[in-house]
Structure 1
Amino acid sequence: MNELHKNFHSIQINITPHTFAGLAKQNMAFHQGVMELCGNAIAAALPGEKALIFIGLAPGSAKDELLLVVADWGSGMDLSQLENALQLGSLPTGSNRLNEHGFGINNALASLTGGDRPWALYTRARGAAGYLKVQGPFTPQMTVEEVDTPALPQELTLPRDHPGTVYCIHVPLAIAQSVQGLGAKAKYYYQGNQPTQGVNIRLGKRVIATAQLSEIWRGPNGMPLARHNNYNEFVGEVLLPELPRGVLSTLNNKTNLNPNDPDWQNLFSLLAQVPPLAHPKACTEKALQSRWISALLAVNPQDRVTDEMTVWPTGTRIDVLDEGADKRVIYELKATKGEPLHLYQLKMYWDGLVLDGVQPTEAVLIVPKYTSDLARMAELINDRLTPPALPDGAPSLPYHIKLATHEEKCLA
């Protein structure tokens, strides 16, 4: 580091323009570059204070770019810290795991600018009067200028004065649009769909990877387990404590975990010993049916209790049918909270039996819990709706649909 004159300093960077252009081709999307800078901001938060981060977009100087501003009110950097931060693979300072590799600023600036667009970094150590400004693209020798305040686009106003660090980055539109999947509309997935199958891996307060399925589990043929609707209900988290830097490492650009790390391989080997269930809810409900059949037969061993009765031309199977001397009771058992559709399933079973000439006497939905609105819906079906006539044209009995909980039926 050399001092050119009072307000300028020279920093030697261990990177060439060709290397910097190479970093820009690491498949790091716009939002990942922004989050890299946010991670640095969180790591720079002052002791006892929460990190305050500002992210803003403004028109760029060219039509094919946006100006991205990321600011924080953390500890900032002095000249020696700034020189270290700009080195490729610089030694991380402090113990914060967010400063894991020493590639963060280089990766983010390379990816967000496409390798050759301008950027400016303003920073000041806590208590310093002015700012240190360095601007790119990167060259082997960078000039640091002492300035009074960061130069921000007039369209953006920071929520607080005197930030610790500010980045102003010219981002090509093609890179900015990567936040929507290379120009496609943004996609939002509800849990219980193929994109969300698997487990999220949370390390401390940070999610390292999401929807890990084929990365961990394999099918009977030894190949990575393929996403299939059978696994829509397999959604969970692997919760890991905050660990020292270097344990369970991430990639240098922090876009994913490091699959070559033996620690991750050992963890995945342990997880692979517990394969995900296909249709876990169905498995649970099948167990409920078996337990309920056993309970019914224990009380009335003379009854005919079956889970093989089907109705309608589709062969729709009734969960449980209990037939005695003067009763014929339909049961629908669910592992989740009662829903309107469940009542309509009971009505469908009832109607199907009547059309086959079999008269039900009662239909019961057994669920962990249900709302008063659902109970009112059952009452309306019983009071207001008319079941079909029997095959000979005679009227059938009115609906008699009831609700019960697992606890009430000793199934909890």
Structure 2
Amino acid sequence: MANDRYQRAEGPYDIHMPVSMIPGSGEVAGGTGTVVRVRCPMHKFLTLKPASKKEEPTFGQMAAYLRETLRYTYANLLRDKAFTICFTAVDKSGASDGGEITGALEPNWRDGQMTELPPVETDLGGGPVTICCRYGSIRRSKENAFYYRANMASSGAEIRINGRAIQHGLYNEIWGKALHPSQNRFLAQIDILSDQAEALPDTKSAKNGLREDDAKVAALFSWIRANIPEPIKEEGREQMLVQMLAEKKSAESGVLRVSTEKNLYQCLNLQIKSDLFVSSTEGVTLFEAKAGGSKAEDLYQLRMYHDGCVADDMEVREAVLIAQRHPDTVRALLTELNRQKDKKGRPYHFALTTWDEEGI
């Protein structure tokens, strides 16, 4: 721009597109930058619409989908303020929508459940690269649900090259097994940095995936397997959370006994085990634990624990359902059950809590 001119390449995409130098700044805003203008048939523009959206989108909604796609694709670069993106979408009637992309689309990591590795210098077979990596468990959030839905399609490994998203949802390709539904919150973000193209893993021509026949891609997957632990299944995570809760309850004043998987209904020899049994000077507290969201039947499981204690002549002070979240249906059933009484005529006292509320 110091020479008051800009470069323009125009025509059908080709590696040998003609380039011309033109005086002035053209449509470049802010003194310097790049302007890209493309025509897109509506049927291709509509491919931005998430499959979960069944209704026909408006042009404004489609522009919003484009904005979210750009926020995701260039998230690392937007986060690091390497550049800014402004876009304008214009339909055939002349209506327009767009604006500046104001921020990166980032995952919402669960508290204390994200690990970030220091940048690692390595060689994937074509020269030195730097790998930046973070992994952990994410929350579902309306703010980033366009790409980070904590489901099978959006979980697993997300590969970026020099900050740009290349491919996501990789799991079987790396670990050689299908993702278990209880592992849907797992996300690993890997960004490979280098200014030497030959050092980077090969991508498909559309930059929408890695080339499976590239030895550097195989080396990258080996690096991931060596440095990122496989996500544990929800059942294993649930046991870990219960153990953490048990340790926390053990440290509270007045606690006499803390037991995981305590046998209940011993009078009938049923061998029913509660997730957590806490006895204190104030009485017995029972826990039914769910690593994810709770369901109505979980309250009936908790009621069985309560009735088992009563059958074994133990008075229950409180029975608690702990989970990541509780839907309204569970809250409504809780209110109904607390209107009832156990077989000894004492009112039930069921309660709800979350792992966050317990500081876990």
For normalisation by structure 1, the TM-score amounts to 0.43
When Rg is computed on C-alpha atoms for both structures, the one with the higher figure is: 1
For normalisation by structure 2, the TM-score amounts to 0.48
User: 1 or 2, which has the higher strand percentage?
Assistant: 2
Higher RCO, 1 or 2 (CA under 8 Å, sep at least 6)?
1
